[in-house]
Structure 1
Amino acid sequence: MKTTFKKSVLAFLTCVLALAFALTGCSGGGKDPKANFVGSWELSGGTSEGEELTEEYMEMFKEWGVNIILVLNEDGTGSLDLFSEVDDLKWEAKDATTASITVGKDTTDVKLEDGKLILEEGEDKLIFTKSDKDLSGTVKKDREAAEKEEEIDEAVEDDDTENIEISPAVTVADDDLCTITVTEKFKDEWGDIGFVVNITNKSDKDLTFYAPSGKTNVNGTMKEPWFSAHLMPGTNATEEFTFSSGELDSLDDLVNTTIGIDAYLTDSYEDVASYSVTIA
């Protein structure tokens, strides 16, 4: 139910494209009404599709790590952070209790009432309160995170992934304990580069395979490996062998690579095997 409600709130907020502000003091004669609106504002309550936006929902949004923030700058610019998706906006104060916000081609009026900014659309009512903190830094982080996610999505859409088969497969181990082979080089959508490793546990023991520090280098440069696989007796698995430090720019960099894979008894942590191989 909470997930459904989150979606309904997001749909409503996206539709109206407006957020709110709290009144820091109604203006007296001659006071610039813009001063009532400048600052950072957060969703604090209201109703949406007949559901009350209680304090529980506000806490739930925080737990999800999503923000509903409006920053209004004194120069009439601002930004709308809607569930961590950020848009630029323009705004103006019509009078001491009314402001208009424009996002893209859509403009919406909001009203200040009792120190809160009220946005009403049909039976829905959203209430915003002015924060005592400058939230522009939070909005900036959300914008950067959204841009990074968009870059990743575009990379996936552009099929910015690569797999190169290693033929014949390189054998790391083949004994009574296990068989380990390296079958592919890969680059994934996150930009990580490494090897695809197939392992079969031939023993009657519960084993954990891992890449120990100090046994991996790429073309003569030491790298810190990232690899772990837990296999029950008689089972097999396909895992990725990557590098947690020392970036590689492309698969062309992954040459003359020496990797180490060791094994220990899962229950007792007793080392039982150590293997190493060089992949051209």
Structure 2
Amino acid sequence: MKTTFKKSVLAFLTCVLALAFALTGCSGGGKDPKANFVGSWQYSGGTLDGEELTDEYMDMLKEWGLNCVLILDEDGTGVLDMFLEVADLKWEAKDATTVTITAEDESHDLKLKDDKLVLEVEGDKLIFTKSDKDLSGTVKKDREAAEKEEEVDEAVEDDDVQSVEISPAVTVADDDLCTITITEKFKDDWGDIGFVVNITNKSDKDLTFYAPSGKTNVNGTMKEPWFSANLMPGTSATEEFTFSSGELDSLDDLVNTTIGIDAYLTDSYEDVASYSATIA
């Protein structure tokens, strides 16, 4: 009698447990939440200082060669490459929609929503979209560039700073919109080489000037320089048109240079002008 009763209880418990496991399997509760986050994520928009980062803005960053990539590896490590600032990190999935990343002793939660990872910090929002490509090569390239810049920064002393006046100054633009002139060649204390640019916005619009991809040539070789200047109507500025460390070794390399500078309306990102000039 007692034996029959025990068998009945065990049989009942076995059925209950089997049903519980079946329901858990159907609900997806057995899936490791880490699987939702592993892979390469690319910055795709958001807000900054209350302003929405539009597709045009994102295209501009891409043209400038600026990347923002988040990689989360299966072993709980990863890397954040934010515009050439590369930081290693650790991460863990708190649940199926929340991942915590920790880098340089700071931790932040990212929320998974509509297949996008969203990071909100001090009112700003960064949105990452899952890439179908492995972006570790991009991160490696940016890391090497950052390390090289740091090495140059440590190796170059203040007395290595050089400048050579360009006389007469080279006029890149002189119209109703703006004037742009090149007045010097320089090598700074980071080892970067480039030109000093004087620029005046003569229009009634807020303009941003930049160096577009594929328009600058140094002695027969295409280069990707860095240049950006935002000018309110009627204002002037002196900026640097710079080639990254390693692209040019000395001022003597900066010869027979054709530079390109374009302008767009800051508020709408609408291109309004394109200029170029050659410096011997």
Q: Which range, TM-score by smaller chain?
A: 0.3 to 0.5
TM-score for both structures, normalised by structure 1: 0.47
TM-score for both structures, normalised by structure 2: 0.47
